[in-house]
Chains A and B, each alone.
Chain A
Amino acid sequence: MLNEHYIASGVLELYAVGGLTQSEREEVEQRAAASPEIKAALDEACAAMESYAQLHQMAPRPVLKTNVMARIQEESAAADGPVVTEQEQAPIPMYAGHEREGSPYKWMFAASVVLFLISGILSFYFYNKWQQTEDRLQLALASEQQYAQNLQTVNLQIQQQEQVLSILQDPDTRYVQLQGVEGHPEAAMQVFWHPQQQKVYVGALNLPAPPQGKQYQLWALDNGQPVDAGMIALDDTNFRLQQMKEIGTAQAFAVTLEPEGGSENPTLEQLIVMGEVQS
Chain B
Amino acid sequence: MPNQPANKPSEEELVLRLRSRETAAMSQLYDMYSATLYGVIVQIVKVEGVAEDVMQESFVKIWNSFSMYDEKKGRLFTWMINICRNLAIDKVRSKEYRVTGATDTLGASNKISVTTESFNSEHLDVREMVGKLNPEQKQIIDLMYFEGYTQNQISETFNIPLGTVKTRARSAVKFLARIFKTRA
Query: Chain A interface (Cβ within 8 Å of chain B)?
Result: 9-11, 13-14, 16-21, 25, 29-30, 32-33, 39, 42-61, 64-65, 67-69, 71-73, 75-76, 79, 83-86, 88-93, 96
Contacts and interface: CB of A to CB of B under 8 A. Distances in A.
B126 A10 contact: no
Interface of B: 3, 5, 19, 21, 23, 26-27, 30-31, 34-40, 42-43, 51-52, 55-56, 59-61, 63-65, 67-68, 70, 72-75, 77-78, 81-82, 85, 112-113, 116-117, 120, 123, 126-127, 130, 140-141, 144-145, 148-152, 154, 165-167, 169-170, 172-174, 176-177, 179-180
B39 A56 contact: yes
Contacts of B68: 89-90, 92
Tell me what chain B mostly uses at the interface: helix, strand, loop, or mixed. helix
B36 A17 contact: no
Residue among A46, A51, A56 facing the most chain B CB atoms (10 A cut-off)? A56
Contact of A86 (B40, B67, B176): B67
B41 to A, nearest CB: 9
A79 B141 contact: no
A57 B65 contact: no
B158 to A, nearest CB: 13
Contacts, number: 200
B78 A46 contact: yes
A16 B63 contact: no
Contact of B180 (A30, A48, A67): A48
B39 A58 contact: yes
19 contacts: A9-B166, A18-B145, A30-B73, A32-B74, A48-B174, A48-B177, A48-B180, A50-B78, A51-B176, A52-B180, A54-B39, A56-B117, A57-B116, A58-B35, A60-B52, A65-B30, A65-B34, A75-B64, A92-B65
